[in-house]
């Protein structure tokens, strides 16, 4: 049975099982060391205060996850979110990443965010194609912005606009303030 749900701190181990190979063997993420379980559990808890962190289960196994997080620190950036999605290699090409992103984007839209950003370490044709399929468009490259696995890396930036830009916008709703009934409705729609 497939199920899309909100992550919990208890998901740290299966999520790290998915994420660790990306940390250790690729430059998809610029994280260099696998976080400890406790620290990663705290990360999940911290993100869930303001942004969704979703997991997709297949027969009880966490097959993938997606989340939003702060784009930049300053308050004027509060309407912008960075998004990420990771799927276990055993479950790729099954529509899981799309389901996760569709649900994530619907919730972020409801919260009142204006811009979604995806930073993609280049080259990464698979991620570029995925994000463009999800409505993101390229707008910039940060050349040689990071160094990992013995190489200087360029990160391309893609954007997806959500809500209209307006004068005097209200701050986005925090994820923790959303009605559980609304969130569960979105999750069941994409499960």
For 68-91, what is each residue's pLDDT tens digit?
A: 999 999 999 999 999 999 999 999
Q: Please tell me the predicted confidence (pLDDT) of residue 57.
A: 97
What average pLDDT score do residues 31-48 get? 98
Q: 10-34 in b/e burial notation, b at 16+ Cβ within 10 A?
A: ebbebbbebbeeebeeebbbeeeee
pLDDT band at 63 (very low <50, low <70, confident <90, very high): very high
The pLDDT tens digits of the residues spanning 113-137 come to: 999 999 999 999 999 999 999 999 9
Polymer length in residues for the chain: 191
Could you tell me which of 63, 60, 106 has the C-alpha nearest to residue 83?
106
What average pLDDT score do residues 40-65 get? 98
What average pLDDT score do residues 37-53 get? 98
Q: Any residues with CB less than 8 A from the CB of 61 and at least 6 apart, and which?
A: 14, 88
Percent of the chain with pLDDT over 70: 100
Q: Please tell me the predicted confidence (pLDDT) of residue 104.
A: 98
The pLDDT tens digits of the residues spanning 137-183 come to: 999 999 999 999 999 999 999 999 999 999 999 999 999 999 999 99
- Whole-number Å distance between alpha carbons of 154 and 82: 17
- The CA distances from residue 55 to 41, 88, 164, in Å, are 14, 11, 28
Q: Please tell me the predicted confidence (pLDDT) of residue 68.
A: 98
């Amino acid at each position: 049975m497939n199920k899309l749900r909100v992550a919990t701190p208890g998901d740290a181990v299966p999520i790290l099982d998915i994420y660790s190979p990306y940390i250790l063997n690729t430059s998809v993420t610029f994280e260099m060391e696998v976080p400890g379980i406790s620290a990663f559990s705290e990360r999940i808890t911290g993100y869930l205060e303001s942004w969704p962190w979703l997991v997709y289960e297949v027969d009880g196994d966490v097959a993938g996850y997606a989340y939003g997080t702060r784009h930049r620190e300053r308050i004027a950036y509060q309407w912008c979110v960075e998004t990420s999605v990771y799927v276990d290699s055993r479950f790729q090409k099954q529509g899981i990443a799309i389901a996760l992103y569709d649900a994530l984007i619907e919730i972020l839209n409801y919260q009142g965010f204006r811009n979604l950003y995806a930073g993609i370490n280049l080259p990464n044709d698979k991620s570029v194609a995925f994000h463009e399929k999800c409505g993101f468009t390229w707008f910039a490259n940060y050349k040689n912005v990071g160094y990992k696995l013995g190489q200087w890396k360029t990160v391309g930036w893609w954007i997806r606009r959500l809500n209209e830009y307006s004068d005097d916008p209200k701050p986005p709703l925090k994820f923790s303030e959303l009605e559980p009934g609304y969130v569960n409705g979105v999750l069941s729609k994409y499960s």
